[in-house]
Structure 1
Amino acid sequence: MDDQPVLDPLGAVRAAGDPATDVYLTGTVFLDIIFTGLDSAPVRGTESWARGMGSSPGGIANMATALARLGLRTTLAAAFGDDVYGDYCWDSLSSGEGIDLSLSRRIPGWHSPVTVSMAYEGERTMVTHGHEAPPPEEAAPACPPPARAAVAALGHRGTSGEGEADEEWIGSAAASGTKVFADVCWDETGRWDPADLEGLRHCAAFLPNAAEAMRYTRTDSAQEAARRLAELVPLAVVTLGSEGAFAVDSGSGETAEVPALIVEALDPTGAGDVFVAGFVTGTLAQWPLADRLAFASLSAALSVQEFGGSLSAPGWIEIASWWQQTKDAAVAGAADPALSRFAFLDDLLPAAPRRWPLRRAVPTIGFRPA
């Protein structure tokens, strides 16, 4: 393995006395089993064969892995079952990806949640099984550790009071100086009650997708939804799927919009989490808003070209390779608008080809180390 250090996107802004953790996360870890290469949706009463299959830690693990692969010091507080699935997820995240699990807990007798995802026609269908989650105090600390940033999920969370507990730790984190980035849970009730977003008062940024943003704001366009949300949070970022992303900074009044990269998508699982990870990275590194959006979109585009959620997240090797290929194509005469849009990568990536240590978890529970 190359002994050169991994690229640190926050190297220019680190200082003595900074928190040991760059990003703190808490949430549910699933075992994801992903089927790819399906020509169409499964039909009742028939058997469908998939051309590809893999497994990986999912749920909050998608974002934790994406952040860690971009060089951020990531701490995850979550519950893990003491079954084989829990062992695999724990080892993949801790040993395979270098994520700090010191605040996570192994729960005796708890069956790990499992999601089966089927990718076809650019979309996915999921089936999930899980038992009642352990009490919050067994899964994550009530008071989060000092961190530069944290990512929280807002929105409708059912009637268990879980959302209230989440808002407490979000408020504690923000009060300690942590920048809280919020995404949102899909509201299966269809209510889309704006009161579910009360936690935004503690947050530095909110990153819903277009459908979620328009439903919460009762607007007809993602751009108008972003402007409405910017009245509630300093920075509103709305992802537009194949059309890119749009952001409004309520403090400066700045807006930015970037188109999505056109790629052949194999599996969209976890792409939203990878987008958030890229945007958090750029924000902590103090990049301009348009560059943050472009980098987040690039990260998400690279992820959908591989199967799985967490283990498809790109690292600097994949980003540097894509950028070099883009520049080589331009030299060969194939004009690409990405050449100017991503020019900021030249200041971030080394001019000469370089090998970074590739620390990766094995993308299936089906194989044992040699």
Structure 2
Amino acid sequence: MPPAPRTGLDPGADPASVPTPRPGRPGFDAACLGETMVVLRPAGPERLADAETFVPGVGGAESNVACLLAAAGHRVRWVGRVGTDGFGDRVLAELTARGVDVSAVRRDPNRPTGVYFRTDGERSTTEGRPEDASLAEVLYHRAGSAASAMSPSAVDRAAVDDCRVLHIGGITAALSDSCRDLVRELTAPRPGRPLVSFDVNYRVGLWRRRDPAVLLDLARRCDVVFVGADEARELWGADDPDAVRALLPEPSAVVVKDGGRAATAHTAEGPCRVPALSVEVVGPVGAGDAFAAGFLSATLRGLPVPLRLRHGHLAAAAALTVPGDLAEPPDRSVVDRLAALDDGAWGGLRLGPGWTREGAPREDRESRPPGGHVP
């Protein structure tokens, strides 16, 4: 029988027994590989059919993680492929402005930079236009994009390996056969391989003509795996974190995110479950990428597993309390202090819009409940 799950901060957790990036000083703390696109959102709350004006931005799961890691003070590179068009210029300019190195990005004169349109709201888990008007419409124009031409021979392997952590995901594996081959090669055991982080990031529409069973094989080859509880149920019929771990015994850490309820990490020490925070949600987009960035940032710092999960929750809370994909994280000192709260204070945190700019919620000693913490 596995050991009982731990909750909250466990001072006894031994960082040496959980996945830690290799020692030494490579050029970057992290490299993130995948597709980044220009995203166009209606300027107002309209549906796509009714929008007259669209606001441009940049979005991509792996580059979101790269930007958040850079904002947290890490040396980060994004590896990808964009067209020689103006949208490619925008992607590179945006990531550079956020402190991400793009020197290993290749530009394709024959293929365009991917573009997608989306409205605000939670992403639907099914294909096509969602019937529920509260769910986001998402429309991709990425077929034949520059990123879909990534392959083992078309990526600078030295740039990919010159890091402590390599972060990749299931979206990349779905873009084309050559992209799948690239992800398979990067996750294969090899001398000098950095710690490999893999976000399953299952997107139903991307796997219409491909077998998503490859995601399980790819995940089993990695060191740290992130998967949503809903994804694990749909893909593998796994109903809880223990069932997911049984399917993925090889990775050093398997992190199962269960929405606003909790996140559980299975490591050699056993399961560690940390409750999610109470958050006033402004926009649901980007929380999963933010969680991965927070967890990986704490991993790069060698923090114990409970703190890694808490850093993930705090990063997700920063994303949830702003519109759009990315939020500026609070100062590291603020995150460290909140992550170190006792279980009662952690459970009493209430985070709303503006908390990342204003710092930690202030204690109201007269009105807060025992052991609680109020904004």
Could you say whether these structures have the same fold, taking a TM-score greater than 0.5 normalized by the shorter chain as the test?
Answer: yes
Deviation at 1:339, TM superposition (A): 5.2
Deviates more, 1:75-84 or 1:223-232: 223-232
CA displacement at 1:99 relative to structure 2: 0.8
Aligned-pair CA distance for 1:65: 0.8
Q: Which amino acid aligns with 2:182?
A: A
Provide the C-alpha distance between the structure 2 equivalents of 1:336 and 1:83, rounded to a whole number of angstroms. 58
1:36 touches 1:118 (CA, 8 Å); kept in 2? no
Q: 2:183 aligns with which of 134, 153, 166?
A: 166
SS at match of 2:230: helix
Aligned to 1:140: 155
Query: How many angstroms apart in 2 are the aligned matches of 1:333 and 1:86?
Result: 52
Partner of 1:208, secondary structure, is: strand
State the match for 2:117 in structure 1.
116
CA contact (8 A) 2:118 2:139 kept: yes
Q: Which runs of structure 2 are paired with 1:1-370 in the superposition (5 Å)?
A: 17-35=24-42, 38=45, 42=47, 47=50, 54-59=55-60, 60-94=62-96, 96-120=97-121, 123-134=135-146, 135-136=149-150, 140-143=155-158, 144-154=160-170, 157=174, 160-171=177-188, 175-186=191-202, 188=204, 189=207, 194-219=213-238, 221-249=239-267, 251-253=268-270, 255-309=271-325, 311-316=326-331, 322=356, 326-331=360-365, 333-335=367-369
Query: In structure 2, do the counterparts of structure 1 residues 108 and 322 end up closer, same or farther at CA, with 3 Å as the change threshold?
Result: closer
Q: Which sections of structure 1, spanning at least 5 residues, go unmatched?
A: 1-12, 341-370
Distance in 2 separating the partners of 1:295 and 1:157: 29
Q: How many residues align?
A: 316
Cα distance in 1 for residues equivalent to 2:91 and 2:179: 24
The list of structure 1 runs, each at least 4 consecutive aligned residues, that deviate by more than 4 angstroms after superposition, is: 13-17, 189-195, 317-327, 336-340
Asked if 1 retains the 8 angstrom alpha-carbon contact of 2:21 and 2:165, the reply is: no
**TM-score, normalised with respect to structure 2:** 0.73
Contact 1:267 1:306 in 2 (8 A): yes
Does the CA contact (< 8 Å) of 2:37 and 2:58 recur in 1? Answer: yes
Q: Which runs of 5+ in 2 are unaligned?
A: 1-19, 123-133, 336-354
In structure 2, do the counterparts of structure 1 residues 234 and 337 end up closer, same or farther at CA, with 3 Å as the change threshold? farther
CA separation of 1:17 and 1:290: change in aligned 2, threshold 3 A: closer
In the TM superposition, what whole-angstrom CA distance separates every residue of 1:121-143 from its partner, at most 9, and x where no partner exists?
77433111124134325863245
Q: What is the deviation of 1:274?
A: 0.9
**Superposition deviation, residue 177 in structure 1:** 4.0
- Decide whether the 8 Å contact of 1:235 with 1:247 is kept in 2: yes
Residues 78-115 of structure 1: CA distance to partner in whole angstroms, max 9, x if unpaired?
Answer: 11222222212111111x11111111122225322111
TM-score if structure 1 supplies the norm length?
0.74
CA offsets per residue over residues 194-237 of structure 1, 9 Å max, x none? Answer: 44322234311110111112234323x23333332442322111
Give the CA deviation at 1:182. 0.7
For residues 181 and 22 of structure 2, the distance between their equivalents in structure 1, rounded to whole angstroms, comes to: 34
CA contact (8 A) 1:37 1:119 kept: no
